[in-house]
Chains A and B, each alone.
Chain A
Amino acid sequence: ETGVTQTPRHLVMGMTNKKSLKCEQHLGHNAMYWYKQSAKKPLELMFVYNFKEQTENNSVPSRFSPECPNSSHLFLHLHTLQPEDSALYLCASRGSSNYGYTFGSGTRLTVV
C-alpha cells in the first residue's frame, strides 16, 4: 500500500453506462492528479487539483468529469465512453515538501 487507494481495481463498462472511479489519500497531501496510461503511450496528465481547486484540465473530453470534494478524495465520473478510452487510470498525490508523486495502483478500465 502506497497510501493512495484507488477503487475499483478493474472495471468493465458499456458505452452507455455511467460509472465513477475513486481515489483516496490520507497522506496530508494537497495536490491530486488523474493520469491515463494507454498501451505503449506515456502517462498522460488529465486533471490537476491543488487544494481542492481544479488547476488543469489537459484537453480532456467532457465524458470524463472530475470531482474533488475534499483534499483527501478525488473522483473521476465516466459517462458515454468509447472503446479507445480503455486504459489504466492512475491517481497520484503530492505534498508540498517534495516532488515525488505517490501513485495509487490504478483502475484498469475496459469499455465494451
Chain B
Amino acid sequence: DQQVKQNSPSLSVQEGRISILNCDYTNSMFDYFLWYKKYPAEGPTFLISISSIKDKNEDGRFTVFLNKSAKHLSLHIVPSQPGDSAVYFCAAKVTETSYDKVIFGPGTSLSVIP
C-alpha cells in the first residue's frame, strides 16, 4: 500500500509557464514533507521541504503548498525552465522510535518544452 502517491507519471509544460506537481499521502503521522529532483544517471537531490505545521514554503522559483486536511501537497515551479526537466519525487517523513524514516512517491517526470 503506497503511503505517498503521485498520480501523474508525467507532465509537459511550456517554458515560462507554471509547473504544478501533485502529491497525496495517507499517513497522518507524517510530520515533514520533501521534494527531490532526479536527473538520469544521478541520485535524487533535495529541492525544498515543508513542515506539517506550515501551509506554504517558498524558495526562489519553487513553492510547496500543504493542505493537511486533504492530505495533499503540491510543488509549483514558476517560471518553468528547460533545465527543470527531471523526475520529481515527493517524500514524507515519519519519526520511528529512534530514527526518522522517509517514504518516497513513485515520481513525476516533468518535461519543460522550450
Residues of A within 8 A of B (CB): 2, 4, 6, 31, 35, 40-43, 45, 48, 50, 55-56, 90, 92, 94, 99-106
What is the count of residue pairs linking A and B with beta-carbon distances less than 8 angstroms?
A: 62
Within 8 A of A (CB), among B26-73: 32, 34, 36, 41-46, 49
How many Å lie between the Cα of A99 and that of B101 in the bound state? 10
**Does B4 count as interface, using CB distance less than 8 angstroms?**
yes
Q: 1/0 per position for B73-114, CB-CB distance to A under 8 A?
A: 000000000000000010001001011111111110000000
Contact of B101 among A2, A40, A42, A56 (CB under 8 A): A56
Let me know if B98 and A50 touch, CB within 8 A.
yes
Let me know if A101 and B46 touch, CB within 8 A.
yes
How many Å lie between the Cα of A56 and that of B74 in the bound state? 29
| Chain A: CB-nearest residue to B107 | A42
Q: Which residues does chain B contribute within 8 Å of A55, judged by CB atoms?
A: 96, 98-99
Residues of B within 8 A of A (CB): 2, 4, 9, 32, 34, 36, 41-46, 49, 89, 93, 96, 98-107
| Chain A: CB-nearest residue to B39 | A105
Q: Which residues does chain A contribute within 8 Å of B2, judged by CB atoms?
A: 42
Let me know if A45 and B46 touch, CB within 8 A.
no
5 smallest A-B Cβ distances: which pairs?
A103-B43, A100-B46, A43-B104, A42-B106, A50-B99
Which of A55, A101, A103, A106 has the largest count of B CB atoms less than 10 A from its CB?
Answer: A101
Let me know if B99 and A42 touch, CB within 8 A.
no
How many Å lie between the Cα of A40 and that of B107 in the bound state? 8
